[in-house]
Structure 1
Amino acid sequence: MLPRQHRLTRPEEYRQVLRGRGPQRRRAGNDLLVVHAAFASADHSPTRPPRVGFVVSKAVGGSVVRNRVVRRLRALIAERLADVPAGTDLVIRALPAAAQATSAELGASLDRLLATVLPAGVR
């Protein structure tokens, strides 16, 4: 479990990351995952720790499979959280192929996507 300060908890927080547009928003995806990122602007506190949320739909599988995917992703992002800039919100959306992927495949996919969405020089 991620500490509370590192979690997106309210629906409006997810909406801001997923539906927002502009230079403070980025998105990258592949066959396993889609990572949405929203960066703190000048009027928001960039000293806030990074926060992460997960979206795993029923298309991925039943509840057991979905929860397994979320647990794997949560453990993978916890290892990489120190590399995410302060004030950044991430939403990681699992696609149906993530159900059959190993943790190593999910980790490699997550690393590639984070390198794409995070500002240059961070990762």
Structure 2
Amino acid sequence: MRRRDEFTLTVRRGRRAGRPHVVVHLLRRDDTAHAPPAPRPKANGRAAVPAARRTDDDLPRVGFIVGRNVGNAVVRNKVRRRLRHLVARHLDRLPPGSLLVVRANPAAASARHDELAKDLESALDRLLRRRA
């Protein structure tokens, strides 16, 4: 996820679970705040017919927020890489078309890998259990 409006929508209207090292925001496609994008018109002016196969709109999208309070650029990029690696394990658990924002707290800079993994998994469990 790279678009500012998707980050803003997810953080403001998504469900939130906070842990000591990370805060996770989840916005599902079926939430009223996030409607699926309208079909794009083809060159001939007619709307595209949705295909039965899985499209990019069905895939969950993930974004990361690692602010300056976490550390300098080297530390922030290290934390972002570690979080990206941890989230990749959980992508199959996310609902189709959902938006997920993982925000690192300053404590994430000095956290061990297993501590980050535990906090992320705990936050995701909490968010996915709420609506299940």
One of 37, 51, 61 as aligned partner of 2:71: 61
Identity level (%) = 42
> Structure 1 stretch 26-35 or stretch 36-45: which is displaced more?
36-45
One of 77, 85, 88 as aligned partner of 2:95: 85
Structure 2 residue ranges without an equivalent (≥5): 38-56
One of 105, 108, 129 as aligned partner of 1:95: 105
The equivalent of 2:11 in structure 1 is 18
Distance in 2 of aligned mates of 1:78 and 1:111: 12
Distance in 2 of aligned mates of 1:100 and 1:108: 15
Q: Note the alpha carbon deviations across 1:32-57, whole angstroms, 9 max, x for none.
A: 10000100027527x61111000000
Q: TM-score, normalised by structure 1?
A: 0.82
SS of the counterpart of 1:118? helix
One of 17, 35, 39 as aligned partner of 2:24: 35
The equivalent of 2:46 in structure 1 is none
Q: TM-score, normalised by structure 2?
A: 0.77
Distance in 2 of aligned mates of 1:121 and 1:36: 14
Structure 1 residue ranges without an equivalent (≥5): 1-7
Is the radius of gyration larger for structure 1 or structure 2? 2
SS of the counterpart of 1:93? strand
Distance in 1 of aligned mates of 2:25 and 2:129: 13
Q: CA deviation at 1:59?
A: 0.3
| Stretches of 4+ aligned residues off by more than 3 angstroms | 119-122
Is the alpha carbon distance of 1:92 and 1:86 closer, same or farther for their aligned partners in structure 2, counting shifts above 3 Å? same
Q: Note the alpha carbon deviations across 1:27-81, whole angstroms, 9 max, x for none.
A: 0101110000100027527x61111000000000000000000000000001111
Distance in 2 of aligned mates of 1:33 and 1:120: 18
Distance in 1 of aligned mates of 2:11 and 2:120: 17
Query: Considering only aligned residues, what root-mean-square deviation do their CA atoms show, in Å?
Result: 1.8
